[in-house]
Structure 1
Amino acid sequence: MTAFRKHHISVTHAVSGIYTALATQPNFRVHITLSLLAVVLGLSLDLSRLEWAAISFVIAAGLGFELLNTSIEFVVDLLTDQHHLLAKHAKDTAAAAMLVYAAGSVVVAGFIFIPKLLLLFIN
């Protein structure tokens, strides 16, 4: 198998993972929606290149964190269908990582969007 073929298969599996998250994870759909809203708002407010870089990173990393959280949930569910304290801890800490990241992304978005929105409404 060629390197290109292996890469193509890897990308196909990755895209399948995104479809799985979209189909099964309401929070992933919320993140996609909020990301699209941030892009529309950014286009409306004429962000600088640095601001776009920050927003792009926040969006990509947030979706990545949510996908990792989802994969941890799937693996834990695969390993046991019984309530186990360690399974709960694994799921809770993965969700907490996403929550911490989401809070940080709101701060970044606030630093970028709030001053621009205030100027828009003041002028």
Structure 2
Amino acid sequence: MKTFFKAFTYAWMGIVHGTTRERNVKFHLIAAMIVLAAGWMTGLSQLEWIIIIAVIGLVIAMEFLNAAVERVVDLVTQEVHPLAKQAKDLAAGAVLVFSIASAIIGIIIFLPKWLM
């Protein structure tokens, strides 16, 4: 049971590191605060809140995974290697794809409320 709870400590350390040291995570957290404020002001439904919170959580989780891929690649090789670059680019691309999808979801949810 001790190792089970220790895993939460390590996870929390990762969250603290990501939120305090990763520039893109900070950007997404600021964007999340703006979206949450907009949701509060527009009176989102329960389903809309679930979608918004899930999307925010997934974008931030994707940023954490992107940072982890970057660290592992840097740990494996310090030299510029085409495969290392591809790994980093693919991880960053995954975040970008989901961020664009998240923005579209946000437009679908918020635009009708702003046009009323």
Query: What's the counterpart of residue 70 of structure 2?
Result: 73
Asked whether 1:53 is paired with 2:50, we answer: yes
Asked whether 1:25 is paired with 2:22, we answer: yes
When normalised by structure 2's length, the TM-score is 0.95
Please state whether the residue corresponding to 1:19 is helix, strand or coil. Answer: helix
> Percent of counterpart pairs with the same letter?
36
* CA deviation after TM superposition for structure 1 residue 118, in Å: 1.5
Q: For 1:24 and 1:108, locate their aligned partners in 2 and report how far apart those are by CA, in whole Å.
A: 28
When normalised by structure 1's length, the TM-score is 0.90
* CA deviation after TM superposition for structure 1 residue 23, in Å: 2.9
* CA deviation after TM superposition for structure 1 residue 24, in Å: 2.5
Asked whether 1:92 is paired with 2:89, we answer: yes
Q: For 1:77 and 1:24, locate their aligned partners in 2 and report how far apart those are by CA, in whole Å.
A: 17
Which residue type is aligned with residue 102 of structure 2? S
Q: For 1:50 and 1:22, locate their aligned partners in 2 and report how far apart those are by CA, in whole Å.
A: 27
Unaligned 5+ runs, structure 1: none
Deviation digits for residues 85-108 of structure 1 (CA, Å, limit 9, x no counterpart): 000000000000000000000000
Query: What's the counterpart of residue 63 of structure 1?
Result: 60
Q: Which has the larger radius of gyration?
A: 1
Name the Cα RMSD after superposition. Answer: 0.9
User: 1:3-42 residue pairs with structure 2 within 5 A?
Assistant: 3=1, 5-42=2-39
Deviation digits for residues 13-66 of structure 1 (CA, Å, limit 9, x no counterpart): 111111211232100100111111111111111100110011011011111111
Unaligned 5+ runs, structure 2: none
Please state whether the residue corresponding to 1:81 is helix, strand or coil. Answer: coil
